[in-house]
Structure 1
């Protein structure tokens, strides 16, 4: 049975954010396109905005699949936590500023008796990092470094807004194949950031840390750092380090590619068995490997050179 928790959202920067009373129904504003993907959360379709033809992605969420609800300040109706988190990250038409490394929600709708539709920007020339690695193979270290820096800076923004993503993985990162810029997507497993222990987890098991596998308990920051270690390994080796619970508990990645000692050092630090032995995300940015210069990292798909790391 689903644990359908209700959270009163009381973030300072959301004081002026209210549920949007849409004057025109979804059908008057947007048109569906092809199915892009589906899963336990629902389905995602392409589409476009009728007024200007802007390409969008439309996520359908069934009401009975929503596991966390939020009550926005000043509003009686509850909304899925994902919508509330996206609003706090600059989604919708509010005045909250967003971040270039996080996908932007353009609009959302409640479909009476069914569920919710979330409309996102749909960046052009993008593919998710899973497909990017599948097509290209293990990434050169400077490219992996650039991607990881951007992911961390986007996560720092999330944390500054009181939000933890909880499902950082290659499938939830979009890569612009022209510029090398990334965007984090899918906040369906996200939650409000807190210092205390979490006892629920809706992310991806093979990216989860030993403390969750063993005790179903974790803290937000060590969980995030562990997933970044899995992600970095995935990028430079071409696949994730652990497939089974037993492997996660061992916390000993076996490097399948020839990568630098500095990169191995950072991965092992992030994948430390004990949460208290892992770095903070700020310490990751200061690691020797992350400080290496990567001004020219070539092109991604033969289209153009991607910009120097910021």
Structure 2
């Protein structure tokens, strides 16, 4: 056989696939950076849709990225970021995802100093909706924090970053020591086997506290100082918060995980039900919209064929 007849090497094939895939996009500007690499805003030529392209270098923590891809492919919820396509080269992986223009919840809290209860309630209900959807499907996030929650320009929530997420079975206890130490549950600090759902609830309690106070509940200059504050349950709840809101926070930040409520229980709390009189029932409540279904279908078919 001539050189032209020989099959391409795997590396060459991957590079050709990479270039063919990226002909579909205009890469615009960097919109985020982190330990994983960076995120670029891009434009999908066929559908004229803006997307976010997350670039990850293949390294010793590639298992986290593979885990995130595996989980996101199974999720379809308006409050969870949508994964459109995965492009792989020898050295890098690119995740083409839904673009959310409003930025991180953390920045919204910082800009406002703290959120009023009405606004916090609306955002938190959407976060709960996303987490409940995951728990109902045997998935826990394990890294819930304001940095991993995005808002669009209309205030709709998108939960992101499932790299530490995992699947679980009812009754199964997890042992991985993970998650931001500022949002870490007592049982994780103690390295005890834990229920991932209850760990998510603790983290949600920290997120809600941050939203309505503008600060973390458990503070310290070192990890050990934060750990001590968590294990001693040492935090203050400002008096300007309503009794109902204080009660929600206290319930979620219950030290004993067996006494800590589930997401299902929190969803029904009176503070979260305020303002629902005369509105659609939870079963038919209007949720934030997905990207235009016609565009998504076109996008999916096009990326699969090419």
Q: What is the TM-score with the length of structure 2 in the denominator?
A: 0.78
Give the match's secondary structure for 2:23. Answer: helix
Partner of residue 88, structure 2: 110
> How many equivalent residue pairs?
259
Identify if the C-alpha distance between structure 1 residues 60 and 101 changes in structure 2 by more than 3 Å, giving closer, same or farther: same
Could you give the per-residue CA deviations for residues 118-153 of structure 1, whole angstroms, max 9, x where no partner exists? 0111134x1211000100121111211111111111
Answer yes or no: is the 8 Å Cα contact 1:159–1:193 preserved in 2: no
Partner of residue 79, structure 2: 101
Give the match's secondary structure for 2:228. Answer: helix
Could you give the per-residue CA deviations for residues 268-297 of structure 1, whole angstroms, max 9, x where no partner exists? 1110111011111111011121122268xx
Q: Which has the higher helix share?
A: 2
Partner of residue 264, structure 2: 282
Unaligned runs of at least 5 residues, structure 2: 1-16, 220-225, 278-284, 289-306
Partner of residue 123, structure 1: 100
Are residue 242 (structure 1) and residue 218 (structure 2) matched?
Answer: yes
Give the match's secondary structure for 1:25. Answer: helix
**Greater CA radius of gyration, 1 or 2?**
2
Partner of residue 194, structure 2: 218
| RCO higher in structure (CA 8 A, sep ≥6) | 2
Answer yes or no: is the 8 Å Cα contact 2:218–2:229 preserved in 1: yes
Two-structure CA RMSD over aligned residues (Å)? 2.4
Partner of residue 154, structure 1: 130
Answer yes or no: is the 8 Å Cα contact 2:18–2:87 preserved in 1: no
- 1:152-231 aligned at under 5 Å gives the runs 152-178=128-154, 180-194=155-169, 195-215=171-191, 217-231=193-207
CA distance, structure 1, for counterparts of residue 234 and residue 117 of structure 2: 21
Answer yes or no: is the 8 Å Cα contact 1:146–1:309 preserved in 2: no
Could you give the per-residue CA deviations for residues 220-275 of structure 1, whole angstroms, max 9, x where no partner exists? 11101101110111111112211311111122321246101111111011101110
Q: What is the TM-score with the length of structure 1 in the denominator?
A: 0.77
Q: CA deviation at 1:34?
A: 1.7
Q: CA deviation at 1:193?
A: 2.5
Partner of residue 3, structure 2: none
Answer yes or no: is the 8 Å Cα contact 1:130–1:171 preserved in 2: yes
Are residue 263 (structure 1) and residue 245 (structure 2) matched?
Answer: yes
Answer yes or no: is the 8 Å Cα contact 2:79–2:126 preserved in 1: yes
CA distance, structure 1, for counterparts of residue 27 and residue 177 of structure 2: 32
Are residue 273 (structure 1) and residue 255 (structure 2) matched?
Answer: yes
